[in-house]
């Protein structure tokens, strides 16, 4: 009963103390393993009552996450393929990373943690297939389609005083119409003895949410390392107004043993049909690729 309640009513867990609610929500899909653990003693005791009781948390988990396990739908005629990747400022193989991303044949590629001199190598490697690109600060967008209206998006928390630019907005002139694309890298969160340190991330998400809400173009894509899962209430300024993937878990971090998807693809007036991870690169994140159904 407790397991079922935590899964279904996770938003009731208070966030005022040590950000416990956000910490719980970061690992919410993994509560499926708790059900498996509870199944073992039920089987060992051959308890029909316990097995029936386990149907409750199983049903609740399936209600929230079961659709993500379903096979993806066939590509539609109006699908757009996008790739999102935090390439890491310590990546020693920018060219190999660029080739891995381009191999998915996306229409758009969003990158974070772009730093010189690796930035030049990414630009050179992607140029043949992606003639249009914009870079603002440490984030960039590469496109097969023309780009206009590129500008930075201010998502810097007030307490950060040094130069810090991690957001951009551009218009993609796709065959079916113009799309506003936002690329963002929200501040990192840290799990400490005092709890989850996420105040900067939450503030930055609020600023980004206001920018998206003010966007005049109907169709909007958000690609970025948001340092939070779609269940995390810290991203509510975004998830409350945007759609998230219909298929796929695509855990992207950490690359060696992914336990959460913090690299996100969200949409407004479009549908994320499916999201998946790509092969590992020189980053501590895995790239994610998504198919977007356009109206």
Q: What tokens were used for 20?
A: 């416990």
Q: Report the pLDDT value the prediction gives residue 195, as an integer from 0 to 100.
A: 63
**Angle ∠(295,286,270) on CA atoms, nearest 5:** 10
Burial track 254-286 (b if 16+ CB lie within 10 A, e otherwise) = ebeebebbbbbbbbbebbbbbbbbbeebbbbbb
Beta bridge partners of 136: 139
Q: Report the pLDDT value the prediction gives residue 76, as an integer from 0 to 100.
A: 72
Total-model pTM = 0.92
Q: Report the pLDDT value the prediction gives residue 193, as an integer from 0 to 100.
A: 60
Percentage of the chain surpassing pLDDT 70? 98
Q: Report the pLDDT value the prediction gives residue 47, as an integer from 0 to 100.
A: 86
C-alpha dihedral, 199 to 167 to 279 to 144, nearest 10°: 160
Tens-digit pLDDT string for the chain (295 aa): 899 999 999 999 988 777 889 989 989 999 999 999 999 988 898 888 888 999 999 999 999 999 898 887 777 767 899 999 999 999 999 999 999 999 999 999 999 999 999 999 999 999 999 999 999 999 999 999 999 999 999 999 999 999 999 999 999 999 999 999 999 999 998 876 656 788 999 999 999 999 999 999 999 999 999 999 999 999 999 999 999 999 999 999 999 999 999 999 999 999 999 999 999 999 999 999 999 999 8
Domains of the chain, by residue range, sit at 2-69, 79-293
Give 79-293's CATH code, choosing from 3.50.50.60, 3.40.50.1820, 3.60.10.10, 3.40.50.720: 3.60.10.10
Residue pair 87/119 in contact by the 8 Å Cβ criterion? no
CB count in 10 Å sphere of residue 105: 11
Q: Report the pLDDT value the prediction gives residue 295, as an integer from 0 to 100.
A: 83
Q: Report the pLDDT value the prediction gives residue 190, as an integer from 0 to 100.
A: 81
CB count in 10 Å sphere of residue 62: 12
Q: What tokens were used for 272?
A: 């994320």
C-alpha separations of 113 from 94, 98, 101, 165, 185 in Å:
12, 14, 15, 10, 8
C-alpha dihedral, 289 to 64 to 13 to 55, nearest 10°: -140
Average model confidence (pLDDT) across the chain: 94
Which residue in 31, 27, 25 sits closest to 2, CA to CA?
A: 31
């Amino acid at each position: 009963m407790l397991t079922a309640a935590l899964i279904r009513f996770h938003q009731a867990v208070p966030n005022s103390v040590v950000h416990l609610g956000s910490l719980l929500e970061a690992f919410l899909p993994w509560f499926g393993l708790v059900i498996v653990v509870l199944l073992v003693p039920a089987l060992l005791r051959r308890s029909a009552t316990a097995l029936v009781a386990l149907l409750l948390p199983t049903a609740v988990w399936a209600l929230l996450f079961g659709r993500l396990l379903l096979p993806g739908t066939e590509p539609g005629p109006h699908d757009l393929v996008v790739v999102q990747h935090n390439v890491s400022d310590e990546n020693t193989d920018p060219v190999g990373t660029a080739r891995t991303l381009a191999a998915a044949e996306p229409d758009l590629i969003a990158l974070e943690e772009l730093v010189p001199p690796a930035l030049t190598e990414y630009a050179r490697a992607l140029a043949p297939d992606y003639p249009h690109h914009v870079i603002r600060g440490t984030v960039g967008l590469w496109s097969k389609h023309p780009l206009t209206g590129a500008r930075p998006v201010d998502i810097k928390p007030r307490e950060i005083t040094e130069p810090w630019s991690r957001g951009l907005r551009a218009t993609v002139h796709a065959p079916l119409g113009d799309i506003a694309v936002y690329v963002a890298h929200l501040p990192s969160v840290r799990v400490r003895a005092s709890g989850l340190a996420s105040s900067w991330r939450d503030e930055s998400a609020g600023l980004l949410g206001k920018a998206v809400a003010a966007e005049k173009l109907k169709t909007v894509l958000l690609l970025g390392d948001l340092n939070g899962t779609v269940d995390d209430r810290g991203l509510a300024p975004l998830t409350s107004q945007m759609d998230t993937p219909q298929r796929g878990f695509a855990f992207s971090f950490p690359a060696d043993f992914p336990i959460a998807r913090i690299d996100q693809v969200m949409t407004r007036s479009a549908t994320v049909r499916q999201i998946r991870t790509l092969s590992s690169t020189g980053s501590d994140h895995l790239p994610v690729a998504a198919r977007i159904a356009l109206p």
